[in-house]
Structure 1
Amino acid sequence: MVHEKTGGDRLDSETVKSLAEASRTRPPLAGNARLVAIEGRSGAGKTTLAEALAAETGWPVFHMDDVYPGWTGLAASVDLLACWVVMPLLNGANPRWRRYDWVQGRLAEWRTASVTDGLIIEGSGCGAAEIRPYLSILVWIDAPDEVRYRRLDLRDDAEAYAPYRGIWAHQENVFYAAHTPWEYADVVIDGTAPHQPAQQG
């Protein structure tokens, strides 16, 4: 695998353009689709990078937040990602998943995404060992705890998230100890870049 390290104090346009170019040139491994997975701990900057990459490539973004079955659902989301996103693409169909409603605390409506060339997946869990064979590019965003914690404090849902931060961090510890996605990443990005607060996950 090609392993690149990008850094600095901001996520500049050249970083995004370089990642977009690499994404377009990698072979599709999920049917005819190129999957780009953006991994990292909560608050690392996954959503920000995914949205920037989507703007550059025109590819849709799939948020793992949509399929975590609640605050204890990180591990379970891997099978859901495989079933609702990867398998349909392998069979020439579009992803179709049932969104989790975080406000109501239950499953909500079914959603789909039209994928022609590529799909960007962001969120903890998308770099799982079971998913990696289908990824054209795996990105790991590395950010120190103090940076991530500061961002989590500024999130729009910070108050609702606060009681679950420890629970979620424990799940991340367990998941990352088992799957170590940074060891398999094609691109490692310095996540200290300033970014806007994101929702869940």
Structure 2
Amino acid sequence: MTVTPEVLGGLLDRIRSVGAALICVDGPAGSGKTTLAAQLADALGAPVVHLDDLYEGWEAGPDGGAANLARWVLDPLAAGAQARYRRYDWDAGAWAEWHALPPSSHVVVEGCGAAARQVDAFPGGAFVIWVEADDAERLRRGLERDGAAARDHWLRWMKDEAAHYTREHTRARAHVRLDGVGRLTH
């Protein structure tokens, strides 16, 4: 999903108007978050943290990614320290190299669980963008990316993320909502 220049400009205006330092692009897997996060990061000159790098495999789910985000990125940044995180290598099934975030006035975080309630207390504020798409389309996109053998993983993940979003009320807490093709819905 690539948003139009008009939609991107509107998002940037809203982010700047609230003065948010943390931009969270959240929503169900396969909805189009990664592309939007790249557009925002490019426009803001900000680093991007992909929660796909922070999940410890399929079993960790959005809750596991959110916990690693807090431990490795949010807590250090809130304390004025440099954030760094370890990338999970999905093929090897193990943690890989460390990545340090460069200093920046903004940080973009994208992925399922990026806007768990923990971000609400982030110093400088968090701006939450919710991206959603139809379940059938999300599954199609996911299997196109990960292969048909990942179907059972995807179906379990979709249940895990639904439970996560129900607990976290992420959609309701979002400042902006977009559909899976880049149109504003709220």
- The two structures have a TM-score, normalised by structure 1, of 0.82
Where does residue 163 of structure 2 map in the other structure?
A: 174
Where does residue 153 of structure 1 map in the other structure?
A: 143
Superposition deviation, residue 24 in structure 1:
2.8
Contact residue 47 and residue 104 of structure 2 kept, 8 A: no
Q: What count of residue pairs does the alignment treat as equivalent? A: 180
Contact residue 36 and residue 137 of structure 1 kept, 8 A: yes
Structure 2 counterpart SS, 1:11: coil
Letter in 1 for 2:69: L
Q: Which sections of structure 2, spanning at least 5 residues, go unmatched?
A: none
Superposition deviation, residue 186 in structure 1:
0.4
Superposition deviation, residue 11 in structure 1:
2.4
Q: Show CA shifts across 1:12-60 (max 9, x none).
A: 11111221222233234xxxxx000001101100001101111211111
Tell me, in whole angstroms, the C-alpha distance in 2 between the residues paired with 1:25 and 1:172: 30
Quote the RMSD (CA, aligned, Å): 2.0
More helix by share: 2
Where does residue 65 of structure 1 map in the other structure?
A: 52
Contact residue 129 and residue 179 of structure 1 kept, 8 A: yes
Contact residue 61 and residue 122 of structure 1 kept, 8 A: yes
Matched, 1:38 2:30: no
Structure 1 counterpart SS, 2:88: strand
Q: Show CA shifts across 1:149-201 (max 9, x none).
A: 2322322x33453341112112112111111201110011122349xxxxxxx
Structure 2 counterpart SS, 1:149: helix
1:97 aligns with one of 82, 85, 89: 85
2:96 aligns with one of 101, 108, 118: 108
Tell me, in whole angstroms, the C-alpha distance in 2 between the residues paired with 1:185 and 1:138: 5
Structure 2 counterpart SS, 1:120: strand
Q: Show CA shifts across 1:79-121 (max 9, x none).
A: 2111111111111122111111111001111111113200000
Letter in 1 for 2:72: W
Letter in 1 for 2:176: V
Structure 1 counterpart SS, 2:92: coil
State the identity %.
34
Q: Which sections of structure 1, spanning at least 5 residues, go unmatched?
A: 1-8, 29-33, 195-201
Contact residue 26 and residue 111 of structure 2 kept, 8 A: yes
Where does residue 31 of structure 1 map in the other structure?
A: none
Q: 1:93 to 1:10 in 2, by over 3 A?
A: closer
- The two structures have a TM-score, normalised by structure 2, of 0.88
Tell me, in whole angstroms, the C-alpha distance in 1 between the residues paired with 2:177 and 2:70: 24
Tell me, in whole angstroms, the C-alpha distance in 1 between the residues paired with 2:107 and 2:115: 14
Contact residue 50 and residue 122 of structure 1 kept, 8 A: yes
2:132 aligns with one of 116, 123, 142: 142
Where does residue 197 of structure 1 map in the other structure?
A: none
Structure 1 counterpart SS, 2:77: helix
Contact residue 98 and residue 107 of structure 1 kept, 8 A: yes
